[in-house]
Amino acid sequence: MVLTLYQIVWDLTMIHYPKRILIVEDNKADVRMLKDVLESQGYETLQTGDGLEAINLALAHLPDLILMDIQLPELSGLEVTRRLRCDDRSRHIPIVAVTAFAMGCHRREALDSGCNAYISKPISIVGFLSTVESFLPRLLR
Ligand code: MN
Protein backbone atom coordinates (compact mmCIF):
# COMPACT_ATOMS: atom_id res chain seq x y z
CA MET A 1 0.00 0.00 0.00
CA VAL A 2 1.31 3.42 -0.95
CA LEU A 3 0.63 6.19 1.53
CA THR A 4 0.22 9.54 -0.15
CA LEU A 5 0.99 12.81 1.58
CA TYR A 6 -2.73 13.56 1.51
CA GLN A 7 -3.49 10.26 3.16
CA ILE A 8 -1.05 11.08 5.94
CA VAL A 9 -2.51 14.58 6.37
CA TRP A 10 -5.97 13.03 6.53
CA ASP A 11 -4.93 10.53 9.17
CA LEU A 12 -3.32 13.27 11.27
CA THR A 13 -6.46 15.37 10.89
CA MET A 14 -8.53 12.43 12.06
CA ILE A 15 -6.32 12.05 15.11
CA HIS A 16 -6.62 15.71 16.05
CA TYR A 17 -10.11 16.50 14.74
CA PRO A 18 -11.86 13.17 14.38
CA LYS A 19 -15.14 13.19 12.51
CA ARG A 20 -18.01 12.36 14.80
CA ILE A 21 -20.85 10.07 13.80
CA LEU A 22 -24.11 9.67 15.71
CA ILE A 23 -25.39 6.09 15.48
CA VAL A 24 -29.15 5.92 16.05
CA GLU A 25 -29.88 2.22 16.30
CA ASP A 26 -31.78 0.12 18.83
CA ASN A 27 -30.39 -3.28 17.86
CA LYS A 28 -27.40 -4.02 20.10
CA ALA A 29 -25.61 -6.28 17.62
CA ASP A 30 -25.94 -3.69 14.85
CA VAL A 31 -24.67 -0.95 17.17
CA ARG A 32 -21.62 -3.06 18.04
CA MET A 33 -20.84 -3.73 14.40
CA LEU A 34 -21.33 -0.13 13.22
CA LYS A 35 -19.29 1.21 16.14
CA ASP A 36 -16.42 -1.23 15.57
CA VAL A 37 -16.25 -0.56 11.85
CA LEU A 38 -16.38 3.22 12.24
CA GLU A 39 -13.95 3.41 15.16
CA SER A 40 -11.50 1.17 13.28
CA GLN A 41 -11.46 3.91 10.61
CA GLY A 42 -10.74 6.65 13.17
CA TYR A 43 -14.25 8.04 13.51
CA GLU A 44 -15.63 8.98 16.91
CA THR A 45 -19.10 7.68 17.62
CA LEU A 46 -22.05 8.61 19.78
CA GLN A 47 -24.92 6.21 20.12
CA THR A 48 -28.54 5.96 21.14
CA GLY A 49 -31.45 3.66 20.41
CA ASP A 50 -34.05 6.29 21.28
CA GLY A 51 -35.45 8.86 18.86
CA LEU A 52 -35.91 11.75 21.29
CA GLU A 53 -32.46 11.22 22.73
CA ALA A 54 -31.12 11.18 19.17
CA ILE A 55 -32.51 14.68 18.63
CA ASN A 56 -30.98 15.90 21.90
CA LEU A 57 -27.59 14.34 21.11
CA ALA A 58 -27.61 15.72 17.58
CA LEU A 59 -28.32 19.26 18.80
CA ALA A 60 -25.85 19.03 21.68
CA HIS A 61 -22.94 17.56 19.71
CA LEU A 62 -23.65 18.53 16.09
CA PRO A 63 -22.11 15.34 14.66
CA ASP A 64 -20.62 15.31 11.15
CA LEU A 65 -22.99 12.53 10.08
CA ILE A 66 -25.97 10.62 11.48
CA LEU A 67 -26.74 6.97 10.81
CA MET A 68 -30.47 6.60 11.29
CA ASP A 69 -32.21 3.31 11.86
CA ILE A 70 -35.76 3.76 10.62
CA GLN A 71 -37.38 1.17 12.90
CA LEU A 72 -37.04 2.59 16.42
CA PRO A 73 -39.26 1.80 19.42
CA GLU A 74 -40.81 5.24 20.02
CA LEU A 75 -40.28 7.93 17.42
CA SER A 76 -39.42 6.42 14.04
CA GLY A 77 -36.18 7.37 12.34
CA LEU A 78 -38.25 9.13 9.68
CA GLU A 79 -39.88 11.34 12.32
CA VAL A 80 -36.52 12.04 13.97
CA THR A 81 -35.12 13.02 10.57
CA ARG A 82 -38.06 15.33 9.83
CA ARG A 83 -37.59 17.07 13.20
CA LEU A 84 -33.85 17.50 12.65
CA ARG A 85 -34.56 18.98 9.23
CA CYS A 86 -36.87 21.60 10.79
CA ASP A 87 -34.17 22.91 13.11
CA ASP A 88 -31.58 25.35 11.80
CA ARG A 89 -28.93 23.81 14.03
CA SER A 90 -29.26 20.35 12.50
CA ARG A 91 -30.77 20.77 9.04
CA HIS A 92 -27.36 20.58 7.32
CA ILE A 93 -26.15 17.34 8.99
CA PRO A 94 -26.01 14.45 6.50
CA ILE A 95 -28.32 11.61 7.51
CA VAL A 96 -27.91 8.08 6.17
CA ALA A 97 -30.98 5.92 6.73
CA VAL A 98 -30.40 2.29 7.69
CA THR A 99 -33.26 -0.15 7.46
CA ALA A 100 -34.07 -3.81 7.27
CA PHE A 101 -36.71 -3.14 4.64
CA ALA A 102 -35.23 -3.03 1.18
CA MET A 103 -38.41 -2.08 -0.62
CA GLY A 104 -38.39 0.87 -3.00
CA CYS A 105 -41.17 2.69 -1.16
CA HIS A 106 -39.13 2.78 2.04
CA ARG A 107 -36.22 4.24 0.17
CA ARG A 108 -38.47 6.94 -1.28
CA GLU A 109 -39.98 7.61 2.14
CA ALA A 110 -36.54 7.97 3.76
CA LEU A 111 -35.37 10.42 1.11
CA ASP A 112 -38.65 12.37 1.28
CA SER A 113 -38.22 12.70 5.05
CA GLY A 114 -34.88 14.38 4.54
CA CYS A 115 -32.37 11.54 4.61
CA ASN A 116 -29.47 12.06 2.19
CA ALA A 117 -28.85 8.39 1.48
CA TYR A 118 -30.20 4.98 2.28
CA ILE A 119 -28.60 1.65 3.03
CA SER A 120 -30.35 -1.59 3.80
CA LYS A 121 -29.52 -4.37 6.23
CA PRO A 122 -27.71 -6.69 6.13
CA ILE A 123 -25.00 -4.07 5.75
CA SER A 124 -22.06 -4.64 3.44
CA ILE A 125 -19.08 -3.10 5.23
CA VAL A 126 -17.36 -1.87 2.07
CA GLY A 127 -20.54 -0.30 0.70
CA PHE A 128 -21.38 1.16 4.08
CA LEU A 129 -17.96 2.81 4.48
CA SER A 130 -18.00 4.22 0.98
CA THR A 131 -21.44 5.75 1.64
CA VAL A 132 -20.15 7.28 4.88
CA GLU A 133 -17.02 8.58 3.15
CA SER A 134 -19.04 10.13 0.36
CA PHE A 135 -20.33 12.57 2.99
CA LEU A 136 -17.02 12.89 4.88
CA PRO A 137 -14.53 12.95 2.02
CA ARG A 138 -10.87 12.34 2.49
CA LEU A 139 -8.72 15.15 1.16
CA LEU A 140 -7.71 13.02 -1.82
CA ARG A 141 -7.68 9.32 -2.41
MN1 MN B 1 -34.37 -0.88 14.89
Q: Which domains does the chain have, with CATH numbers?
A: 5-135 (3.40.50.2300)
User: Measured between alpha carbons, how far is 110 from 117 in angstroms, rounded to an integer?
Assistant: 8
Q: Residue 7 Cα, ligand 1 centroid: separation in angstroms?
A: 35
Q: Give tens-digit pLDDT for 76-94.
A: 999 999 999 999 999 999 9
Q: How far is the CA of 49 from the centre of ligand 1 (A)?
A: 8
How far apart, in whole angstroms, are the C-alpha atoms of residue 69 and residue 118? Answer: 10
Task: Give the Cα separation of 78 and 106 in Å (integer).
Answer: 10
Phi first, then psi: give them for residue 113, nearest 5 degrees: -80, -10
| Distance from Cα 98 to the centre of ligand 1, integer Å | 9
Report every protein residue that has its C-beta within 5 angstroms of ion ligand 1.
26, 69, 71
How far apart are the CA of 50 and the centre of ligand 1, in A? Answer: 10
**Ligand 1 center to 53 CA (angstroms):** 15
Q: Are 99 and 74 in contact (CB under 8 A)?
A: no
Asked if 46 contacts 23 with a C-beta cutoff of 8 angstroms, the reply is: yes
14 pLDDT more than 80: no
pLDDT over 60 (residue 140): no
Q: For 90-129, what is each residue's pLDDT tens digit?
A: 999 999 999 876 666 788 889 999 999 999 888 889 999 9
Give 18-72 pLDDT, tens digit per residue: 899 999 999 999 999 999 999 999 899 999 999 999 999 999 999 999 999 999 9
Distance from Cα 73 to the centre of ligand 1, integer Å: 7
Q: pTM higher than 0.85 for the full model?
A: yes
The rounded distance, in Å, linking the Cα atoms of 56 and 141 is: 34
